Structure 1
Amino acid sequence: MTTTTQLHLTDLPIGILTLTASDEALTGVEFGRVEHEELEHVPSDLLIEAAHQLSEYFAGKRQSFDLPLAPAGTQFQQRVWQALQQIPYGETRSYGDLASIIGQPGAARAVGMANNRNPLSILIPCHRVIGANGALVGYGGGLTIKRKLLELEGVLD
């Protein structure tokens, strides 16, 4: 039987994050304190390691994550999320760039919707996707958090 657990990270510069994980992989990163009544509050080793790596990221000591991820989504969403993971720290891509990368150059809007459904924000770096004109557009955690993450990575002043 698989156990799913949750952990709240409260001392982050962007506020609170709620992490969820199965026995094998991280399944969610949500902004704010989200209570999943059906989940256990006993942090697993995986959640503790994720918290450690996120702390290093926010301290400017980590540029990539080494964690097993299991985002639930459609085949198209999975392709977009894989492409997101290829965007290097400190760089951005447009929705159109990502659509081209996955071989569907006319699917920028669908890429945006897949970004919106990303269950593992920060770990799958959807904050690195911007509008074609360079504008900060759309982010599940809000544009203020998106700006903070891009400032942390040196993309914005």
Structure 2
Amino acid sequence: MAPVTSDLPQVQDSVSTTLTLLFQTLTNLSLYDSAGRPSAPSLASDLTSLDDSLLKVHRLANALPPSSTPGIPLPLMEYVENGRNPDIYTREFVELVRRLNHLTRGKMHAFRDFRDVLAREMAAAMPEVKEDAMRVVEETGGKGPVLLGEENKEGQQRQ
């Protein structure tokens, strides 16, 4: 058998066709013998078509290259398989990311403040490294003269 090549739109069309056939089969099954007419051949035909369609979906989906399939996180799949709403999962994930971003931002500010205090204390204790400390502070995103205690903040150095 020749290898099957497919792309995502083909798989999507095949899934759509399969869903239509499934709905048609369910409709015929609900009407089965309710009007007194035997509909076994029609139902058998629907089941055969549904089976063929499912097989086609399986083959096309397996032939897709891994890079073309959308990456759905495994925890999300498990969440949905357990009968839970994916919107709730998304909301919880966004809240978790927001909390972690807030925590990371706090750590960044703490390290920035530590850098400033360390540079200020080093410059005060060892005047020979003041220029190096200022250069390090400036190259890491700080303002050298302001952070080394040469600022003129109200109430601190004006007295």
TM-score w.r.t. structure 1 length?
Answer: 0.21
* Higher-helix-fraction structure: 2
The structure whose RCO (Cα within 8 Å, separation 6+) is larger is: 1
Q: Which has the larger radius of gyration?
A: 2
